[in-house]
Chains A and B, each alone.
Chain A
Amino acid sequence: MSVIFVPNDSAAVSVGADDVAAAIVARAQEQNIDIEVRRNGSRGMFWLEPLVEIEHKGTRYAFGPVLPSEVPALFAAGLAHKSPGAIDHPKALGPTEQIDYLKNQERLTFARCGLAEPLDLQAYEQLGGLAGLKLALKATPKDIVETIAASGLRGRGGAGFPAGIKWKTVADQPGSEKYICCNADEGDSGTFADRLLMEADPYCLIEGMIIAGLATGAERGLIYLRSEYPAAIAVMGKAIEKMSAAGWLGDDVGSCGRRFEIEVRRGAGAYICGEESSMLESLEGKRGEVRAKPPIPAISGLFGRPTLVNNVLTLAAVPWIMAHGAKAYAEYGQGRSKGTQAFQLGGNIARGGLVEKAFGVTIRDLIEGFGGGTASGKPFATAQLGGPLGAYVNDEMLDLPMDYEALAKAGAMLGHGGIIVFDDQVDMAQMARFAFDFCAIESCGKCTPCRIGAVRGRETLDKIIAGDNVKENLLLVEDLCELMTDGSLCAMGGLTPMPVRSAIKLFPDHFASPGADQTAPNAASAKL
């Protein structure tokens, strides 16, 4: 009997994976062929979705992207009875793991994604899951914290704060009423790695959270999961039930006498709730207004108790680190950026998807090597790194290594690892306007530089776009950017100037309407 894999990841389903699965089942029934369709998570090669795989003698063979209408032809070519390597069909891609996109990655956190059915706990264990937790159960909290610190793991949510320091701070607080809050708000445009992991390998996140609980003494975990991800919410809920039934969650975690429970809490459409203090307010049932710091959440967080706030990918890196050791993890990466990062290629890119790679890979390797350049085939113009608060880069910056410090030095940031590609049709004045617009829409309203500054910035860009006093208005935008950078309470207002300033700096001719203001820099070459 052949086993055929068709992902149930929501991105795969968004381009027809359910229909493909149904077509395969129907065709097999028609032809009386005995097959089993398994709904795995995605491998993260989204441009190939729906990606159908067949297992043959221990090797998986890929076909994609498969349209439901192509299923009969695939069966005719021998899908369910021939050796898959011998099938001659334009969508046949050969052994999945030999596809360059996958072969050239360094998958640690995402190693299991797409291999098995996400909720198959036995498969999880067979594929190396729970090994880290089992070791952690035998270790002292201090040892666990030291392992995380020695691995060099830094927060993957955007700020890159060393995880070990945060874990130690929470562990050092007295009492057992502490919380592990997993930030699964993933609001940054251009990012989907948290979603992919939660849908494909939910136990990995749970395992990381349990280990965090053991290390810090917290007995309760909450996952703040955005409402835009209904599939991930459903999978995580079921995974928690299964882990509880198996004794890995509850009053006696892995029979070690320690308690740990996890609950999923839905977000409600507010981007700012990804900011950690706003998230805590939301978890307390309140408006998601940002809190002033100090105190830091590690000392006084949820309900005023010590709280470890970590991104999904920070926590999901933990099981691998525990299982393979801090040193093995720190061997990946460079400088102070250790380990691997989940880069997410999106926007106008030929091969969009997830690329897990050691830090130090260049932007060019990612966009051109993995991504294959623009989807439209038109010349590359710019990429925005690190979400809506991240900087734009131009083609001269593509050889920069992806590394927290190197990017900061170049005036950019890694953020949550999103890379959004634009071709030469982009209008950077519109993108700068959008940055202000987004800030105005999503601002929590607590401080003036952000609340008012964003609205003023949007108005001023409208004037610039209309060709009205371009030079003066650009100066005004620069003043506003300075005010927002220096005066905002959190990075929402504080970093909105990043995309704005980088757009103006790298693409000055986009900010001068032809003929409107001949004194503006590069006005002669203004975009038509």
Chain B
Amino acid sequence: MKSAGEAADHIISAICDAHDNNPAALIEILHDVQGQKGHVPDGDLVVIAMALNLSRAEIFGTMSFYPDFHAQPPEAPVVKICRGEACQAMGALELADKFAAAPMAGEPVEVEPVYCLGNCALAPAAMIGDTLIGRADVARLQSVLADLKK
């Protein structure tokens, strides 16, 4: 029987294989790993490095450049509130403050800044998971969070 570690390695190797172990596909590979696990665990970097014939330091260097990738799993659902100028013009900063102060029935959320979600005509915009929210207000953010929990 395989140990849990080996099984995890197998998932990572399969992802790398699906990209022909091509070093140029590293960003795609990191996205796929994060898509499966919710983050890119430190231990996986060595497996990716071996598959792509790169050093662990190179993988880490690339990964750390991109805001999308997280080495730790998020502690709470992540709510991205846009701080781009169009959203600022419609009160995005106030929304972020208000939302951060409004407890979600006592449950924690992580509010992350983003800079433009391509929804500037329906500002302020926010994103939870893959769900884009236009004309966002505290109530709508809360209801999307509640729906996602179901």
Contact = CB atoms under 8 A, between A and B. Distances in A.
A418 to B, nearest CB: 7
Given A190-B85, A227-B31, A270 B67 contact: yes
A288 B65 CA distance: 7
Interface in A257-286: 265-271, 282-286
Given A15-B122, A189-B120, A286 B89 contact: no
A422 to B, nearest CB: 5
A268 B118 contact: no
Interface in A220-275: 227-231, 265-271
Interface centre among B22, B115, B130, B135 (most CB of A within 10 A): B115
Given A11-B119, A47-B121, A268-B27, A375 B114 contact: no
A11 B89 contact: no
B123 interface: yes
A75 interface: no
B18 to A, nearest CB: 13
Interface residues of B, number: 41
Contacts of A47: 121-122
A437 to B, nearest CB: 9
Given A190-B86, A269-B66, A426-B89, A46 B121 contact: yes
Interface residues of A, number: 61
Interface string B45-85: 00000001000000001100111110000000000000011
A187 B67 CA distance: 14
A230 B130 contact: yes
B120 A418 contact: yes
Contact of A284 (B24, B116, B120, B125): B24
A52 interface: no
A325 to B, nearest CB: 32
Contacts of A228: 114, 116-118, 127
A227 B68 contact: yes
User: Mostly helix, strand, loop or mixed at chain A's interface?
Assistant: mixed
B96 interface: no
Nearest to A45: B121
A201 interface: no
B134 interface: yes
A352 interface: yes
Contact of A190 (B24, B52, B67, B120): B120
A183 interface: no
Contact of A229 (B22, B28, B118, B123): B118
Interface in A118-144: none
A228 B114 CA distance: 9
Contact of A15 (B31, B66, B68, B135): B135
A368 to B, nearest CB: 16
Contacts of A187: 115-116
7 contacts: A49-B134, A192-B119, A266-B27, A266-B31, A268-B30, A269-B114, A347-B90
